[in-house]
Chains A and B, each alone.
Chain A
Amino acid sequence: MKRYISIWLPHWSTDRWRRFHDHDRDSPLVLIASAAGGQSITAVDSRAQAEGLHPGQRLADARAVVPQLHAADADPLADAQALGRLADWCGRYTPWSSTDGDDAITLDITGCAHLFGGEAALIADLVHRLSRFGVGARAASADTPAAAWAWARYGAHLEQEGPILAAGQSRERLAALPVQALRLPTEAVENLRRLGLRGIGDVMDLPRAPLAARLGREILIRLDRAFGVEAEAISPRRPPALWRARLAFVDSISQREDLDRGTRHLLDELCCALEADGRGARRLELAFYRVDGSVQIVEIGTSQPTRDATHLARLFAEKLGTIAPGFGIETMILGAVATDRLAPRQIDLATHATSSMEGLAPIIDRLQNRLGRNAVVRLVPVDSHIPERAVVVAPAVSRGRTDPSPERPRPIQLLAAPEPIEVIGLTDAPPSSFRWRHSEHRIVQVEGPERVAPEWWRKGDPATRDYYWLQDSTGRRYWVYRDLKRAAWFLHGLFA
């Protein structure tokens, strides 16, 4: 059975504004935006609400009612971004969190609540922590996101009923709520009111077909979602990791050694879980939840699936320097975002060291995590006559191909792009001297040509080239070619 929590932040915009501005808490606050005919209110705090102000009201009208009113500019974009960060912070309770509209967050707490001493304790802890950040919140739990949403807004304030809608109770307890709790559009609510249907209980048992015919399908969808007949598709902000380990501290930590120790502890735990399931980690995410409510995340990747905690700890050690603990870190959560199958294996003493690629994975990972994901590579030979296509760059862990050394001499350095050279010599004959990068090279020996035909089956292919091996008077050897289509000479490589 799934369980969800919906967190309603009734004064999110004003609470957020207060966090960043030192403002007298006793005077009412409203946020305003310019609208046709003057400035109008977009958000009110609890005090302003108590005075009877509401969003949509003209600022001038509000000032007339409450002269000591403080007004500030609204910033809906920053509000939405901050709500996203708050949803990330909720990752300390569950890997599955999502923003819902512009003033709510939905959490999937299936199988998570026991970690915090049950749903009631989790909700109390959540609301308490948010209030410490200066964010007023109401949260409720239920079997579906829609029911939790309804209960958080319209039911949870009934003190005696509490914030929890126990499993299977949605139907009977939501019946008492007004139809607005179904998240219906205003005109639908208005229509229902005209019909004398004010509560959910009034509509939920009506015959479905006439109801839909009269008021549209919307109401049926909303009812089904609330009662779990139809699943509501909500995607979490971050893909939840299937393998996770969590570590909460009684006293917040900030020392680097403590971070290392915590990381190691989590890795040991996670690697045990991975081993039990025959998986190896490919990508890991380590999130640090600070006491001030922000989250910092570091990520590492491995070239081959692994569950070697020591190796992974070393990879994380490189990145932990970027973590700023601020006033302290209260929770660390490690998740394996990507995993691969990794069969349990006996350590074979005879082949342990000789399978060279196996032993290289840790060091390749270390290099890759510092230098970048595509920074550690192999030069893999490919069947192509075009010199620049005869080698492709492949990830270091791919199996190398052992090719016999080429029949003809090949340059040891290839220019990134062939460079045009000025030649002196007869047409169609190899040059007797050429100029490259402002220096003159007198040719004393020539070998060639070696004709390289274009790969006609590929589009935009270079023209036919005649390659020559040239040796100048100092003994330096060059690989130049004549582009037959353009009748021009290019330098393509240097021989050792």
Chain B
Amino acid sequence: MSSLKARMLARLREQMQRLEKPGIADRRALSLGPASIDDALPSGGLARGCLHEVSGPADDAAAYGFVASLLGRLTQAGGVALWCRRRRGDRGPYGPGLARFGLTPARLIVARARDTAEILWAMEEGLRSGRFAAVLGENIAPDLTATRRLQLAAEACGTTALLLSPPSEKTVNRLSAATTRWRIASVPAERPERPRMSLTLERCRGGGSGAWNVEWNHEALHFDLAAALVDRPMAAVS
């Protein structure tokens, strides 16, 4: 009887928290889909209310697909994501493409800043307001202090922060206070509808590392482990 009461109480608490702040509606870790990836992360998924860093090679948009899928999952419960980027650029996130990765444009607000300092400011403001389900900074490579500030702001309000750092050799050894660091690259897909990418967990606080090939399912909106290139003419490669 008392355990039933305790469970009810826990559920009510959770509901109240959800009413109070949409940003921390759900503090459980964010599942990335395949169990083998979730298991490699200490919290059984991508920890919410932390800073995660994502990068990829130049002129490869796979990292965009990855973060769009994360933002899509984070805003599923009804929140809004804040995407902070530079005002000028030769390319920008494209709504229909984001929607294919589960991030509907209605759940996205884009803040266009003049420089890196303004992007960092906007991210921190967004995180500390506690009003967003997630906050992303595009194409910046902040130093250790700046990432620590972001990490603290994310922790304080329980909002997940993402850094889409620029593709550069320098970023590999850059010090960062991010909880996890991912490197995402395109890998050959069989069909346009099922894009594939390789996820490399380069660093994870309290966890290990790993690499997976995944395939995006835009109907079910989740990643599946990709059958390891068996269909490709491997003979030609070897």
Residues of A in contact with B (beta carbons under 8 Å apart): 350, 352-354, 356-357, 359-360, 362-364, 366-367, 370-372, 374-381, 387, 390-391, 393, 396, 399-406, 409-417, 437, 439, 444-445, 447, 469, 471, 473-477, 493-496
Contacts and interface: CB of A to CB of B under 8 A. Distances in A.
B33 to A, nearest CB: 15
Contact of A410 (B79, B97, B129): B97
Contacts of B91: 413-416, 493-494
B189 A471 contact: yes
21 contacts: A350-B19, A352-B19, A354-B78, A356-B78, A371-B113, A371-B118, A378-B109, A381-B96, A405-B102, A409-B193, A410-B100, A411-B61, A412-B98, A412-B100, A416-B91, A475-B186, A476-B62, A493-B94, A494-B59, A495-B61, A496-B64
A471 B97 contact: no
A372 B95 CA distance: 22
Given A380-B105, A381-B95, A475-B187, A412 B129 contact: no
Rank and list the top 9 A-B pairs by shortest CB-CB distance, nearest first: A496-B65, A400-B106, A412-B97, A494-B61, A410-B96, A414-B94, A363-B129, A475-B188, A405-B99
A315 to B, nearest CB: 12
Interface string B70-112: 0000000011100000010111111111111110111111111
Given A363-B125, A409-B100, A414-B91, A495 B195 contact: yes
B110 A412 contact: no
B191 to A, nearest CB: 8
Question: Of A353, A494, A496, which is in contact with the most chain B CB atoms at under 10 Å from its CB?
Answer: A496
A412 B109 contact: no
A494 B60 contact: yes
Given A475-B186, A477-B195, A403 B112 contact: no
B99 A475 contact: no
Main secondary structure of the interface of B (DSSP, over half): mixed
A53 B89 CA distance: 66
Question: Of B90, B111, B185, which is in contact with the most chain A CB atoms at under 10 Å from its CB?
Answer: B111
B113 A375 contact: yes
A405 B188 contact: no
A409 B112 CA distance: 26
Contacts of A475: 185-189, 196
Given A356-B80, A367-B122, A412-B68, A391 B94 contact: yes
Given A399-B106, A406-B96, A496-B63, 5 more contacts: A354-B19, A376-B111, A416-B90, A473-B188, A475-B188
Nearest to B109: A396
B22 interface: yes
B131 interface: yes
Interface in B185-211: 185-189, 191-193, 195-197
A493 to B, nearest CB: 6
A359 B131 contact: yes
B56 to A, nearest CB: 10
B148 to A, nearest CB: 22
Interface residues of B, number: 63
Contact of B112 (A375, A414, A444): A375
A410 B102 CA distance: 13
Main secondary structure of the interface of A (DSSP, over half): mixed
Contacts of A399: 106
Contacts of A379: 93, 95, 98, 105, 108, 110
Contacts of A412: 61, 64-65, 68, 93-94, 97-98, 100-101
B113 A364 contact: no
B20 A413 contact: no
Contact of B188 (A401, A445, A495): A445
Contacts of B94: 387, 391, 410-414, 493
B5 to A, nearest CB: 24
Contacts of A402: 104, 106
Nearest to A396: B109
Contacts of A439: 59
Contacts of B80: 356-357, 360
Interface in B153-207: 185-189, 191-193, 195-197
Given A353-B20, A413-B93, A376 B59 contact: no
Given A413-B92, A477-B189, A377 B109 contact: yes
A496 B109 contact: no
A337 B80 CA distance: 31
A370 B59 CA distance: 31
Nearest to A447: B192
Contacts of B98: 379, 412
A415 B109 contact: no
A390 B96 contact: yes
Question: Of B92, B97, B105, B110, which is in contact with the most chain A CB atoms at under 10 Å from its CB?
Answer: B97
